[in-house]
Amino acid sequence: MAYIFNMPDVGEGMAEGEIVAWDVKVGDQVNEEDTLVEIQNDKSVEEITSPVTGTVTKLYYEEGDLAMVGEPLIAFEGEGLEDNEAEAAPASTPESPAQEEKAEDPAPASNGGGSYYKFRLPDVGEGMAEGEIVSWLVSEGDTITEEDSLVEIQNDKSVEEVASPVAGTVKKILVEAGTIANVGDVLAEIDSPEHNGEDDGAEDTSTPSQPAQEAKADEGNDDATGSAASAPATADPNRVIQAMPSVRKYARDKGVDISLVNGTGKNGQITRDDIDNFDPSAQAEGSQEASQQPAPAKEEKAAKKSPAPAPTVSNEDLVERVKISPMRRIISESMTTSKFTAPQVSLFMDVEVSKLWDHRKKFKGIAAERDVKLTFLPYVVKALVAAVKKYPMLNASIDEENREYILKKYYNVGIATDTDNGLFVPNIKNANQKSMFEIANEINEKAARAHAGELTNEEMGDGTITISNIGSAGGEFFTPILNFPEVAILGFGAIKQEPVVNDEGELAVGRVLKLSLTFDHRIVDGAVGQRCLNEVARLLSEPELLLMEG
C-alpha cells in the first residue's frame, strides 16, 4: 500500500523549507525513526525522521528545491502501511471545487427583500482603510432624519462626525464604541421605508463588476482603446460610495454610473452637482492616464519586496556566479521583512569605560580558573537587561492583528553570531537570573555550537532583545537591523584609546566604547530610546553598579 509522508513544520510556523540533502534514495528500506532528509528552515538545518517502516518508492523533490509544508515529500510501500494517497494529495488539488464554491457564494450586494437599510463605514479620510468608533450619537430606537449625525469616527488625523444618508429609525447598532471597523463594514441598520433593502455602497460596488471582468479579458488588446473599454477600468469594486439615496436615484435616472463619479462633498460625498458635471469622455481619458501612473503606495511596498531584476554583466568571463545558500537566502528575507515592516531609528553614544576595562582585567584570571572566558559581552548583557527593566517598551513586540503591545517580563538576550554558514542569533534565556560567569559561559558555548551548525530552534527562538557585536571585527558605530519581531537591538562597537576630558576637567587618555541602539519607532519614542541608551552607558561606565542593579 502507498503511504505518503507530507512535509512537516520544522520551525515556528514556517511555510516552506529547502531540501538540503536526502539521506535515502528510491528503493531503500527504512525503519521508523531513520533519518530521511535534511531540511533548512528559517533558522537551522533539521533532520526529518521516518514515521513508518517501509520501502522508499518516490522522492517528490530534489536537493535544493523548496518544499511547502503539508505537501507530499516522500512515498513508501510496505506491509501494514495505510493507503493515504488520496488524503495526502497536494493542497492545490481542490482548486476546481473551491472555484465552484466561490461562484456559488451570494454577491455581497444582495440583501434580500424586506431587510433594513445597511449603513456602512464610509471613507472619512484620505484613502483610510479603517476607523475607530469613538462614540455613537444615536441609540437603538431613535428616530433620525437625513443628514443627522450618527457616529464619530477617528481616522488617521482627526475625529469626524458621519451623517445619516437616510431618514428612519435606528434598529440595530452593530459595532460598539471603541471598536476598529474597516471601511465598508456595516455599522448599523436603519428602518427607512423608502430605502429598506438598500445597502449603503453595495449597489455601486457590484455595478462595474461585469465590465471590469470584460476589461480584464480584453487586457493586451490593442484595439480596446475606446471609452467604453477604458471607463469601467476606473471603477474600484472595493470602493464604498458616499452618496445619499436621492443622489443615487438621480444618477440612475440620468444613466450615470455613480461608481465612476468623484465626490466633491464632505468626506468625498457625491452630490447632485457631481452627477450633473460628470463627463464620461473625460473619465475615459483619465483612466488611460491613470493606467500610466505609478502604482499606489501599497502596491509600491509590495513591489519593493519582489526580487530585483538580474544585473547586467558586461563580461561573463570575468565573473563568478555563486549559488545563494539557504541560510543566506533566509537572512536576506528576514532583513527585508524587518526593514519594510518596522520604521527603524538608530542612536549613537560614546562611553568612557576605563573602569570597565580595569574590572574585566581584574577578574579575567579568576574567570579562567573556572574555565570561563570573560569578555566584555557579559557586562553588556547585564547592563542591557537592567536598562530595559526600567524601559520595558524596548523588551517587547507588537501584535498588529489585535493592536496590542506585548511587554515581556522575561529577558532572553540574543547574541548575533557570525559564522561561515551565515548569521545566527542564539539567545541567553532568562539572562536576568544568571551571574556574569554563567552568561559568559553560555555565550561561548552557543557561539561554538553556532559555528558547528548545531544550534536548535529552541536556542534561537523566543528572543526579546538582541546585541550585535561589531567591535570584534574592529567596527565602531553602525546601524544594526532589528531581529524582527523584536523592537530593539544594541550595537556594541570597539573599545579604543582616545583623548577624553576627565572629572577634573583635564585632558587625558581614556578607553572609549561606541554604542549604537536601533529601535522600532512604532512602539519606542526617540526620548525613551535615548534614556535607555543613557542607562546602558551609565552602568558600563561604572561596572560596580551592575551589582546594585542585580
Count CB neighbours of 51 within 10 A: 13
* Cα(94)–Cα(100) distance, integer angstroms: 10
- Count CA atoms closer than 13 A to 35's CA, side-chain side: 9
Q: Which amino acid is at 267?
A: N
* Cα(391)–Cα(487) distance, integer angstroms: 12
Q: Are 391 and 531 in contact (CB under 8 A)?
A: yes
Q: Give the max Cα distance, the chain.
A: 93
359 belongs to the catalytic site: no
* Cα(154)–Cα(531) distance, integer angstroms: 32
Output the DSSP codes for 84-129. Answer: -TTTTS-TTTTHHHHHHHHHHSPPTT---TTPPEEEE----SSS-S
Q: Reduced to 3 states, what is the DSSP secondary structure of residue 36?
A: strand
Chain mean position to CA 109: 32
Q: Which amino acid is at 405?
A: Y
Catalytic residue among 195, 359, 451, 521: 521
Kind and range of the H or E run holding 205? helix 202-206
* Cα(291)–Cα(268) distance, integer angstroms: 22
* Cα(298)–Cα(300) distance, integer angstroms: 5
* Cα(201)–Cα(181) distance, integer angstroms: 16
Q: Which residues contact 493 (CB under 8 A, 6 or more apart)?
A: 470, 471, 475, 476, 477, 478, 513, 514, 515, 516
Q: Are 387 and 399 in contact (CB under 8 A)?
A: no
DSSP β-ladder status, 507-520 and 488-501:
antiparallel
Any bridge partners for residue 74, and if so which?
5, 59
Active site residues: 521
